């Protein structure tokens, strides 16, 4: 469904992705792990058209993403929750969700998507009139994910959703991932939290210095301490 082949990407003259290849199949949860600065976020930005891809290919459901204008990519069915979440703290929960709508969509459809989001995240419905900036960290992450769901994506890219969260809230993110899985949404999950990623993923890629160095089913990696230690140092 989503496939990256030998993707090379740069920030100005700085060569950051040195041939990244990975794929996510329909309905799969795929983890992408690696130490700080190896290029995980850049890989997601490359998919979303937010960084200069010099060569290689990125395809999604028959579309060549490399040839798309960045603003069109979410509309093809790819949701993206960046590291900094980018919710609007001065807007209510409801208004934040409204910013996720595709404005060309029918009103009835957008209402339906809103009800779907509230069905998946009842806590957000309870707090729909609350200013987003006053939500807890876990609730803000939930809101960022719910907003990405407003475009009814087939796949969602999550960049370190558990970053900065207490262990109890990490459990909530796990539940959210399960909710997405139930809704048949594929997930590409960038994380630093190794146990959580191994627990929720079908397959995991390990990244080092701008390339994928290892790929395995999560169940296999869970028992392979040597590989985990080599690439992640834990």
Ligand X SMILES: Nc1ncnc2c1ncn2[C@@H]1O[C@H](COP(=O)(O)OP(=O)(O)OP(=O)(O)O)[C@@H](O)[C@H]1O
**Residue 31 in contact with ligand X, rule: CB under 6 A:** no
Indicate the residue among 45 and 127 with the shorter CB distance to ligand X. 45
- In the chain, helix, strand, coil percent, each to 5? 40, 30, 30
**Residue 41 in contact with Mg ion, rule: CB under 5 A:** yes
Angle at 35 between CA 34 and CA 36, to 5 degrees: 125
User: What tokens does 6 get?
Assistant: 């030998």
Indicate the residue among 139 and 160 with the shorter CB distance to ligand X. 160
CB 109 within 8 A of CB 102: no
Counting runs of H as helices and runs of E as strands, what totals does the chain give? 9, 10
Using CA atoms, how far residue 193 sits from 31, 81, 171, 173, 197, in Å, is 10, 17, 12, 12, 6
Of 33, 38, 78, 157, the one binding ligand X by CB under 6 A: 38
Out of ligand X, Mg ion, none, which partner does residue 116 contact, by CB within 5 to 8 A per kind? none
Using CA atoms, how far residue 194 sits from 91, 124, 189, 201, 231, in Å, is 34, 28, 11, 10, 11
**Residue 197 in contact with ligand X, rule: CB under 6 A:** no
Of 11, 25, 224, 230, the one binding ligand X by CB under 6 A: 11
User: What tokens does 157 get?
Assistant: 């890219």
> Which part of the chain contacts ligand X (CB under 6 A), choosing from 8-16, 20-28, 164-172, 197-205?
8-16
Closest of 200, 191, 193 to residue 219, by C-alpha: 200
Of 2, 9, 16, 158, the one binding ligand X by CB under 6 A: 16
Indicate the residue among 41 and 172 with the shorter CB distance to ligand X. 41
Rounded distance, CA 146 to CA 123, Å?
11
**Residue 184 in contact with ligand X, rule: CB under 6 A:** no
Shortest Å distance, C-beta 4 to Mg ion? 16
**Residue 201 in contact with Mg ion, rule: CB under 5 A:** no
**Residue 233 in contact with ligand X, rule: CB under 6 A:** no
Rounded distance, CA 167 to CA 172, Å?
9
> Which part of the chain contacts ligand X (CB under 6 A), choosing from 29-37, 56-64, 105-113, 130-138?
29-37
Out of ligand X, Mg ion, none, which partner does residue 39 contact, by CB within 5 to 8 A per kind? ligand X
Indicate the residue among 77 and 210 with the shorter CB distance to Mg ion. 210
Q: Which parts of this chain interact with Mg ion (CB under 5 A)?
A: 41
Q: Which parts of this chain interact with ligand X (CB under 6 A)?
A: 11, 14, 16, 34, 36-42, 192
């Amino acid at each position: 469904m989503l496939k990256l082949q030998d993707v090379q990407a740069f920030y100005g003259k700085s060569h950051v992705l040195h041939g990244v290849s990975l794929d996510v199949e329909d309905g799969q949860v795929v983890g992408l792990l690696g130490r700080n600065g190896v290029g995980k976020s850049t890989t997601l930005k490359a998919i979303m058209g937010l960084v200069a891809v010099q060569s290689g290919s990125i395809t999604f459901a028959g579309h060549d993403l490399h040839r798309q204008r960045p603003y069109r990519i979410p509309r093809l069915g790819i949701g993206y929750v960046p590291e900094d979440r980018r919710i609007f703290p001065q807007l209510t929960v409801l208004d934040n969700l409204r910013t996720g709508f595709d404005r060309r969509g029918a009103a009835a459809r957008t209402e339906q998507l809103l009800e779907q989001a509230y069905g998946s995240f009842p806590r957000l419905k309870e707090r729909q009139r609350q200013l987003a900036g006053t939500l807890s960290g876990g609730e803000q992450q939930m809101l960022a994910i719910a907003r990405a769901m407003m475009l009814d994506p087939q796949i969602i890219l999550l960049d370190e959703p558990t970053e900065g969260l207490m262990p109890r809230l990490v459990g909530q993110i796990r539940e959210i991932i399960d909710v997405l899985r139930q809704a048949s949404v594929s997930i590409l999950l960038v994380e630093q939290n190794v146990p959580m990623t191994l627990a929720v993923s079908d397959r995991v890629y390990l990244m080092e210095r701008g390339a994928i160095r290892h790929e395995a089913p999560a169940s296999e990696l869970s028992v392979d301490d040597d590989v985990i230690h080599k690439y992640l140092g834990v």
